[in-house]
Chain A
Amino acid sequence: MTPSLVNPRQIIAKIGLWLAVFVIVSPAILFFLWMASLSLKFEVDNAAYPPVFIPEHFAWKNYADVLGSNRFLTYFFNSLIVTGSATALALMVGVPAGYGIARMAAHKSAIVILIARITPGLSYLIPLFLLFQWLGLLGTLVPQIIIHLVVTVPIVIWIMIGYFETTPLELEEAALIDGANRWQVFRHVALPIARPGIAVAFILAVIFSWNNFVFGIVLAGRETRTLPVAVYNMISFDQLSWGPLAAAALIVTAPVLLLTMFAQRQIVAGLTAGAVKGG
């Protein structure tokens, strides 16, 4: 028998590794499984002690209740409009800005992004709240779209600076020499190459805008709540019916979790590039 085939040390190392993997991943797995379990149980099972992990009867009606309510649909569209607009606007101004800053090598301008990163979200809220009140915009979705730019614009600019710094200059220079103007170079040479970077910026901007809570609790009225705010308001109303609450929580965060699984590579690339969490 060759020693490389059955090596007890290797087997122990293998078992140890799997044990370590299990220990490390289980807090996340168990949490989300428990979340799903809570959302699928009737009140009897949720109030049972010892706790029931897999109920005999699944309470699909928890989901039906949440999805069926008119308000939920309103809040869902609010979230969609706020996140969609804030992300689209951020890409429109942020991608060219990232390009310009990278090409001018204006690294000092990144300090503004840094300040934005350090500033607590609430600090923006006080002056902008007054401004929106003065402009008579409270009660519409506009204030939330604008203030979500605080989250999305720095993310997009930061990621795009980093991305454009790595894209080759030769093609752009060649295009300039051929008589293209700078806008054409950007539009037809730089932009197509930057598509993967734009995808990263888009995904992160969507996630952090979708998750944002603090801007909503101050600026949103009854009709203009986004989903995180709506879920929070559910807590104070019926603390005791856990099933529908957990179902609502899972529905709110489901798009983000799906995005995390399917766009993991982009998310990891974006987060390790240093642009993390706005607001």
Chain B
Amino acid sequence: MSALTQSTPAAAQSDAAPEKELRPPSYWPFVVPALVVVLAIIIFPWVFTIWMSLNEWKVGSPTTFVGVSNYLRLTSDPRFVEAVGHTLVYTVLSVVLPLVFGTLAAVVFHQKFAGRGFLRGIFIMPMMATPVAIALVWTMMFHPQLGVLNYLLSLVGIPAQLWVFHPATVIPSLVLVETWQWTPLVMLIVLGGLAAIPTEPYESAQIDGASFWQAFRFITLPLIMPFLFIAGMIRMIDAVKSFDIIFAITQGGPGSASETINLYLYSVAFIYYDLGYGSAIAVIFFLLIVALAALMLYARQRMLWTEIASGA
């Protein structure tokens, strides 16, 4: 760096250590301990998982190498195929709904009002609270006879629902919890985006007589798009992997109506102790998340290109 070489006379003035090369400095010693930890708890499990997925590996019986047969087994496993379907439905809903509500909430929290900081603290509580603890309370609220949700519905004349106790409503009900829990995260990210928008476009829009909705649609929305995209990406990764809420409330039930890939993976690995097959599921599961992320990136690129092409 030129800045450094210019200032070396200062070093010569002070009777410092003999001239030694300052750059490139070796910062490796700072990284090594973390590297060891990361190798042990992240890289090693991955390598070992891939190896195990190529073996018939059940607790209590000898291990045999079986090649890709665990992967082939996945394609003809109806429970796995069903779980993929549940996961996709759950994920799409758990991305879209928090994005919509989170954006609305961000627009509101972007305004100035008394007690904003305090209320924002309350608002983000659902995502910080211990998932198992809130899952427990939601379970009580979903109770068909004693639950407060059916009571609230009865106040507005809607018949009682079975919520998580019926196969048709279990996933929407779980998505309700997930949306309640994670809308704040989208809000925070979008709020960061809103803070970065200059005020001039709004002033000229006001002069042009644009309505609030028009201003939102044609100024705010395009400008917060990058933030919405990041929020959507994070939300997707978390929704696909969602475990605590589903496990604590339904354990994948009733029957297997809310069994997502993660829940099925748990059963295979830690109830049936079929670790080889479980490892294959883990690998495919990871690839699925990467594929979904790639798909979102691709869609975003396409959108940008069409925007440029249409001159917007």
Q: Give chain A's interface residues, CB within 8 Å of chain B.
A: 17-18, 20-21, 24-25, 27-29, 31-32, 34-35, 38, 46-47, 49-51, 89, 92-94, 96-97, 99-101, 103-104, 106, 109, 112, 115-131, 146-147, 149-150, 153, 157, 173, 176-179, 182-183, 186, 207, 210-211, 213-214, 217-218, 227-229, 231-232, 235, 242, 245-246, 249-250, 252-253, 256-257, 259-261, 264, 267-268, 271-272, 274, 276-277
Q: Is A126 in contact with B278, judged by CB distance below 8 angstroms?
A: yes
Which residues does chain A contribute within 8 Å of B137, judged by CB atoms?
A: 31, 34-35, 38, 246, 249
Which residues does chain B contribute within 8 Å of A177, judged by CB atoms?
A: 4, 7-8, 10-11, 14, 16, 22
Interface size on B, residues (CB 8 A): 92
Instruction: Choose among B128, B136, B262 the residue that contacts A122 (Cβ–Cβ < 8 A).
Output: B262
Which residues does chain B contribute within 8 Å of A124, judged by CB atoms?
A: 41-42, 45
Produce 1/0 per residue, B111-130, CB < 8 A to A.
Answer: 10100010111111110111
Instruction: Choose among A97, A119, A183, A267 the residue that contacts B286 (Cβ–Cβ < 8 A).
Output: A119
Which residues does chain A contribute within 8 Å of B117, judged by CB atoms?
A: 264
26 CB-based A-B contacts, threshold 8 Å: A28-B122, A28-B184, A93-B37, A97-B30, A99-B27, A112-B43, A117-B237, A120-B243, A122-B282, A123-B286, A124-B45, A126-B275, A127-B45, A127-B48, A130-B48, A177-B16, A179-B17, A182-B26, A186-B30, A211-B129, A213-B130, A231-B133, A253-B133, A259-B128, A268-B124, A271-B185
Q: Is A253 in contact with B30, judged by CB distance below 8 angstroms?
A: no
Report the nearest B residue to A96, measured CB to CB.
Answer: B30
Q: Is B33 in contact with A96, judged by CB distance below 8 angstroms?
A: yes
Which residues does chain B contribute within 8 Å of A115, judged by CB atoms?
A: 42, 46
Q: Is B266 in contact with A31, judged by CB distance below 8 angstroms?
A: no
Report the nearest B residue to A130, measured CB to CB.
Answer: B275
Which residues does chain A contribute within 8 Å of B121, judged by CB atoms?
A: 260-261, 264
Q: Is A126 in contact with B269, judged by CB distance below 8 angstroms?
A: yes
Report the nearest A residue to B38, measured CB to CB.
Answer: A112
Instruction: Choose among A27, A96, A179, A214 the residue that contacts B31 (Cβ–Cβ < 8 A).
Output: A96
Which of B69-77, B144-152, B304-312 sits within the interface? B144-152
Shortest CB–CB separation between residue B181 and chain A, in angstroms? 10
B173 is an interface residue with CB less than 8 A from chain A: no
B203 is an interface residue with CB less than 8 A from chain A: no
Instruction: Choose among B4, B113, B293 the residue that contacts A21 (Cβ–Cβ < 8 A).
Output: B113
Report the nearest A residue to B285, measured CB to CB.
Answer: A120
Given the contacts A31-B180, A231-B133, A272-B188, A49 and B151 also touching, CB distance less than 8 Å: yes
Which residues does chain B contribute within 8 Å of A227, judged by CB atoms?
A: 130
Report the nearest A residue to B251, measured CB to CB.
Answer: A236
Q: Is A214 in contact with B243, judged by CB distance below 8 angstroms?
A: yes
Given the contacts A47-B146, A97-B35, A100-B28, A231 and B125 also touching, CB distance less than 8 Å: no
Excluding A25-B119, A99-B27, A232-B136, 16 further A-B contacts by CB distance (< 8 Å) are A17-B113, A24-B105, A25-B123, A28-B180, A31-B180, A51-B146, A109-B31, A118-B293, A121-B243, A124-B41, A128-B45, A182-B27, A211-B129, A232-B132, A235-B139, A276-B185
Produce 1/0 per residue, B47-60, CB < 8 A to A.
Answer: 01100100000000
Which residues does chain A contribute within 8 Å of B46, judged by CB atoms?
A: 115, 119, 123
Q: Is B49 in contact with A126, judged by CB distance below 8 angstroms?
A: yes
Shortest CB–CB separation between residue A162 and chain B, in angstroms? 14
Q: Is A24 in contact with B108, judged by CB distance below 8 angstroms?
A: yes
Question: How far, in whole Å, are A153 and B43 apart by their CA atoms in the complex?
Answer: 13
